[in-house]
């Protein structure tokens, strides 16, 4: 029966291949044809080993609750993991509402979900959208980031059963599919922050790409706060310094072990973090690095592993976890495809020094990789008001909850 279920899931994937273009593995014969602009295989070395590597195809259907890998997930002593909600195809970005609703974006389907408090039932609150990866919440309004526009739904928690259609507030964004999906968040300045990645693996992009912008909540006043950003799918602000930290994915096809993904800190608007000229703070790009020095750019505060796809991140400000986690950053690493031995596929905790520099990066939630295959792929994290931590898994279409049950320090 397990084999039959596996066959059916892969058959369904074949039928939905149009939705999964960016993540679908491309057969070897396709290399004889020109690759489409933005293809992740552009730049792949001509070697048998590299030819085996391609983006990993995610199952198109959510995994049934009784088939989820929850029991195989591991956390430090005193913590526990449980299923929070399931049945959400391609569950990605997370955001909690004022009344306990958890909103969930997606990338490969057209839906935004809401998980209701108490019973954790899943509702579809928006559909017919194009890569609605990013969600943010402020004063009763849900903001949704599609590929090339930002929309909002007012009074969303009061209208979950009959929500209004999203209203567009900002559409001055590129429409590139490569790195076009967006994580969004509202900063301590009450402005909405939007990343625009490079339109391909490693390209000399124009002035509209490779950056993080911010806008007013009505869509006005756009300005760039960070340049030299290859592809950020996660950021948050220090609860003490209010400085912005963001993850950034390093380029592919340089090698299996470099460059590493980055954790960066924005100390002033307009800083340049180097891409595509410099990666991980100390490696000049072989193609575009000529005439540029890595010393001209802001280096990362931490390296997050080669090709780990470090995505969603949040500062922990809750009281449930031991005191050593207060002010630390939880980072979801989606997991690699551009290396033979998979790396990432976990949640790590980044602990900081008092000056905002990084003290340590250590595993926190693991078990999503077994025998070099994915059992799940973490995308985002979201602390709840009770101090527990949610983790989304787009591979299985599920959200898990981590709690602390041991004796607090």
> Domain with 374 in it: what CATH number?
2.120.10.30
Closest to 191 (Cα-Cα) out of 206, 172, 213: 213
Do residues 24 and 154 share a domain?
Answer: no
Which residues of the chain carry a pLDDT beneath 70? 1-32, 407-409
Closest to 106 (Cα-Cα) out of 98, 97, 114: 114
Q: State the residue range of the domain holding 84.
A: 65-404
Do residues 378 and 258 share a domain?
Answer: yes
Tens-place pLDDT, residues 238-270? 999 999 999 999 999 999 999 999 999 999 999
pLDDT, residue 397, reads: 98
Do residues 208 and 129 share a domain?
Answer: yes
**What distance in Å separates the CA atoms of residue 106 and residue 83, rounded to the nearest whole number?**
19
Tell me the whole-structure pTM to 2 decimals: 0.92
Tens-place pLDDT, residues 290-338? 999 999 999 999 999 999 999 999 999 999 999 999 999 999 999 999 9
Scored b (16 or more CB within 10 A) or e, 190-201 reads ebbbbbbbbbbb
Do residues 17 and 144 share a domain?
Answer: no
Do residues 13 and 143 share a domain?
Answer: no
Do residues 252 and 370 share a domain?
Answer: yes
pLDDT, residue 14, reads: 41
Is 151 a domain residue?
yes
Do residues 276 and 345 share a domain?
Answer: yes
pLDDT, residue 32, reads: 59
pLDDT, residue 1, reads: 43
Do residues 102 and 11 share a domain?
Answer: no
Is 205 a domain residue?
yes
pLDDT, residue 34, reads: 86
Domains contained in the chain, number: 2
Do residues 230 and 180 share a domain?
Answer: yes
Is 57 a domain residue?
no
Phi-psi region of 41 (alpha: psi -120 to 50; beta: other; left: phi over 0): alpha
Do residues 98 and 209 share a domain?
Answer: yes
Closest to 150 (Cα-Cα) out of 197, 198, 182: 182
Do residues 90 and 16 share a domain?
Answer: no
Do residues 83 and 194 share a domain?
Answer: yes
């Amino acid at each position: 029966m397990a084999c039959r279920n596996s066959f059916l899931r892969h058959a369904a994937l074949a039928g939905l291949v149009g939705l999964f273009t960016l993540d679908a593995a491309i057969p070897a014969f396709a290399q004889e044809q020109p690759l489409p602009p933005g293809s992740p295989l552009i730049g792949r070395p001509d070697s048998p080993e590299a030819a085996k590597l391609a983006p990993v195809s995610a199952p198109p259907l959510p995994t049934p609750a009784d088939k989820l890998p929850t029991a195989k997930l591991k956390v430090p002593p005193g913590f526990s993991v449980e299923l929070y909600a399931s049945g959400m195809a391609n569950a990605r970005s997370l955001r909690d509402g004022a009344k306990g609703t958890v909103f969930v974006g997606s990338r490969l389907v057209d839906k935004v979900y809401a998980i209701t408090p108490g019973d954790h039932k899943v509702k579809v609150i928006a559909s017919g959208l194009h890569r609605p990866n990013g969600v943010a919440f402020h004063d009763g309004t849900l903001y949704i980031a599609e590929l090339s526009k930002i929309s909002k739904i007012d009074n969303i928690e009061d209208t979950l059963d009959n929500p209004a259609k999203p209203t567009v507030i900002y559409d001055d964004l590129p429409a590139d599919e490569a790195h076009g999906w967006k994580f969004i968040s509202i900063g301590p300045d009450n402005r909405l922050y939007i990343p625009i990645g490079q339109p391909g693996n490693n390209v000399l992009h124009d002035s509209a790409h490779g950056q993080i912008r911010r806008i007013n909540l009505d869509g006005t006043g756009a300005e760039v706060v960070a340049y030299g950003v290859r592809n950020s799918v996660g950021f948050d602000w220090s609860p003490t310094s209010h400085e912005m930290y963001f993850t950034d994915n390093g380029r592919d096809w340089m090698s299996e072990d470099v460059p590493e993904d980055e954790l960066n800190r924005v100390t002033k608007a307009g800083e340049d973090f180097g891409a595509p000229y410099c990666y991980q703070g100390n490696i000049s790009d072989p193609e575009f690095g000529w005439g540029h020095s890595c010393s001209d750019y802001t280096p990362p505060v931490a390296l997050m592993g080669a090709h780990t796809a470090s995505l969603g991140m949040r500062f922990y400000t809750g009281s449930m976890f031991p005191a050593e986690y207060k002010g630390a950053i939880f980072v979801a690493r989606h997991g690699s495809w551009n290396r033979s031995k998979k790396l990432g596929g976990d949640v790590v905790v980044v602990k900081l020094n008092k000056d905002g520099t990084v003290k340590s990066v250590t595993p926190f939630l693991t078990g999503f990789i077994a025998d070099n295959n994915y059992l799940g792929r973490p995308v985002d994290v979201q602390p709840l008001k009770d101090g527990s931590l949610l983790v989304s898994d787009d591979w299985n279409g599920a959200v898990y909850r981590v709690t602390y049950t041991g004796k607090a320090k």
